Amino acid sequence: MALTLNIGKCTLLGNYRENNEDCIDVKHFPDLNVCIVADGMGGQAAGEVASRRAVEVIPRELRRALPTASGADATKIVVKKSIVAANEEIIQMADQDRDKKNMGTTVVVAIWRKGSELFVAGVGDSRAYLVRGKKIEQLTVDHSLAQALVEAKTISAAEAKEHRFKNILWKYLGTREVGEGPEVRAMTIQPGDRFLLCTDGLTGAVTDEKLLDFMLSNSDPQQCADGLGQLALDSGSKDNVSCVVIDVIESR
């Protein structure tokens, strides 16, 4: 059974920010689709610079190295290396420019090589979700101090949602903590699957339950992406809001 993807994307300045430090893109290459969402941080315009560089470097590195990578394990290695390459470039830029000293960015990516698997990876607290049937599953792990406390069993997952450290990241692009790159998940996809990549401007204002309800009730991926952005603003988000909605369908 041949599959294809229908994709919608949205990025909004929001009601409280003077500039949009998010950057998103969807790249269509002959045998490769790359969806990427990045949420920049840093003084002045540095966050915009960091997120844009991530969105430029990762697809470039994937396109360069993936043609010679055969199989899921090799693909995962290439995805990791592409994210590490973006991290190194962002660190180098920050080292060379005092105004960019503290810049960084989260990133979440979905890579499809025209087969039965979609590869997902993230650094920071931008997230990937899968909606399958009538259930939603978070595919990435937040690299926040609150989540680290959950993993250490110091606080509960419920407590983490309201914890004062929930927005404090210990790992993001622009830090040495990225190391050899994040975990990469290979998801076996099927028609009817819907993936969501998004920044915390969405998830910080809209619960997973509300995300699920909205995504189940809006069938068109572009309308869904636009609607999720507006839902975040209507729900009081004080951040930029960005998302990519990916629908898996049977090609004809």
pTM metric for this prediction: 0.95
- Quote the CA–CA distance of 75 and 228 in Å, as a whole number: 31
Looking up tokens 């992406």, which residue turns up? Answer: 225
Residue 84 has pLDDT above 90, yes or no: yes
| Mean per-residue pLDDT, 126-142 | 97
Average pLDDT over every residue of 200-212? 97
Strand-pair category, 104-112 with 135-138: unpaired
Confidence (pLDDT) at 145: 83
Q: What's the pLDDT score for residue 139?
A: 98
Confidence (pLDDT) at 44 = 58
pLDDT, averaged across the chain: 94
- CA–CA gap between residue 107 and residue 115 (Å, rounded): 23
pLDDT band at 43 (very low <50, low <70, confident <90, very high): low
Higher pLDDT, 152 or 183: 183
Q: How confident is the model at residue 125 (pLDDT cuts 50, 70, 90)?
A: very high
Residue 36 has pLDDT above 80, yes or no: yes
Q: Are 185 and 130 in contact (CB under 8 A)?
A: no
The enclosing H or E element of 87 equals helix 72-96
In CATH, what number does 3-240 get? 3.60.40.10
| Rounded average pLDDT over 33-53 | 90
Rounded Cα distance between 53 and 50, Å, is 5
Six token digits for residue 2: 């041949």
Query: In this predicted structure, what is the pLDDT of residue 93?
Result: 94
Whether residue 232 has pLDDT greater than 80: yes
How would you label 181-205 residue by residue, b for 16+ Cβ within 10 Å and e otherwise? bbebbbbebeeebbbbbbbbbbbbb
Nearest to 194 by CA among 211, 178, 177: 211
Q: Confirm if 39 and 126 have CB atoms less than 8 A apart.
A: yes
Q: 162 falls in which pLDDT band (50, 70, 90)?
A: confident
User: Average pLDDT of 226-234?
Assistant: 98
- One-letter amino acid identity for 122? G
Mean pLDDT of 201-222: 97
Quick count: other Cβ atoms within 10 Å of Cβ 230? Answer: 12
- Report the pLDDT averaged over residues 145-154: 84
Spatial distance between the Cα atoms of 215 and 195, rounded to a whole number of angstroms: 10
* Rounded average pLDDT over 211-233: 98
